[in-house]
Amino acid sequence: MRYDIIGDIHGHVGPLESLLGKLGYRKRSGIYRLDGHTAVFLGDFIDRGPAIRQTLSIVRSMVDYGSALAVMGNHEFNAVCFNTSRPGEPHRPLRSRTDRHIRQHIETLREFRRYAAEWREYLAWFRRLPLFLDLGTIRAVHAAWHEPSLDILRRYSDSGNILTDELLFAATRRGSPEFNAIQNVIKGVEIDLPGAATFVDKDGNERREMRVRWWLDASASTYGDIVIPSRLDLAALPVSAGDAVRFGGYRDRAPVFVGHYWLEEKKPAILSPKVACLDYSVARGGFLVAYRWEGEEILVNDHFVCHE
């Protein structure tokens, strides 16, 4: 089986159809497919973009038909939490409705304003998306293949790593092992910045945690080496012993594909011989990117395909 792994779409249906076409998928009876190939979507179908309903319709029809697989992104997880309350507390959604959370989700809410039943159906479908996929020959997860976290999630479901009610409620209690596991796997492994250092994220929010390059093999020596994105003012700052940031790297046989990191390079490149990120910021003027996997254990740069 060949896999075509596809990064974060965020409602950009034009690039999605153009990329599927470029990969050779054709619409038959309304569903994109290509014999001998399975598409693997890495999550983050919704929010930000101009055509979220159409994007969901294409992705879901392919998954239902069997021409694609999909994992859950942090935007789908957040949508489930935004629209679900704890039992007995109907007015307290699992994700608080702050301005920041509404802003992140507003395009989806707008598009589905007049399609409430359809939106509820998609929320139920999100709940059935695996949190990560181990296909034997390759692995797919939205942000990080972090074994200790995956082990925590595996306890909840022996049938595909689904967000069960029990896991959902545990994972939305800040500080619980399940909360941290979901954070690591679908939002990215983060560290606190040293001292009073902060940075401003792409939405203009000031943060004091940063995502780290979990796939790195060597133990890192400066914060500039380990954080995403690289920051000049952190580049020379040595990692403190107290932080004890050590990277086991990723060395398993099966390559891992992730989305999530809003990469900005004009030419996609592997992160390591075993890890590739396919999020090249289509929702910010970048590209929708796929990787055509043909059986290789060591990933290669000429297997990336851009939507234009």
Contact residues for Mn ion, defined by CB under 5 A: 44, 73-74, 260
Q: What is the DSSP string of 24-67?
A: T-EEETTEEE-TTEEEEE-S--SSSSS-HHHHHHHHHHHHHHTS
Q: Which is nearer to Mn ion, 58 or 278 (CB)?
A: 278
SS3 content of the chain, % helix, strand, coil (to 5): 35, 20, 45
Least separation in angstroms between CB 38 and Mn ion: 22
Q: Which is nearer to Mn ion, 25 or 214 (CB)?
A: 214
Q: Which is nearer to Mn ion, 239 or 282 (CB)?
A: 282
Q: Which residue has the tokens 């014999």?
A: 35
**Alpha carbon distance 303, 192 (integer Å):** 35
Least separation in angstroms between CB 74 and Mn ion: 4
Least separation in angstroms between CB 153 and Mn ion: 17
Q: Which is nearer to Mn ion, 22 or 101 (CB)?
A: 101
Let me know the angle formed at the C-alpha of 31 by 133 and 124, rounded to the nearest 5 degrees. Answer: 50
Q: Are 16 and 51 in contact (CB under 8 A)?
A: no
Q: Which is nearer to Mn ion, 64 or 264 (CB)?
A: 264
Task: Give residue number: closest CB to Mn ion.
Answer: 260
The number of beta carbons lying within 10 Å of the beta carbon of residue 54 is 17
Identify which of 38, 189, 45, 191 has the alpha carbon closest to the alpha carbon of residue 107.
Answer: 45
Least separation in angstroms between CB 136 and Mn ion: 25
Q: Which is nearer to Mn ion, 8 or 239 (CB)?
A: 8
Least separation in angstroms between CB 156 and Mn ion: 21
Least separation in angstroms between CB 90 and Mn ion: 29
Order across the sheet with 190-192: list the strands. Answer: 190-192, 209-212, 227-228
Least separation in angstroms between CB 238 and Mn ion: 30
DSSP classification of residue 238 = B
Which pair of structure tokens corresponds to residue 111? 């598009």
Q: Are 26 and 19 in contact (CB under 8 A)?
A: no
Q: Which is nearer to Mn ion, 42 or 239 (CB)?
A: 42
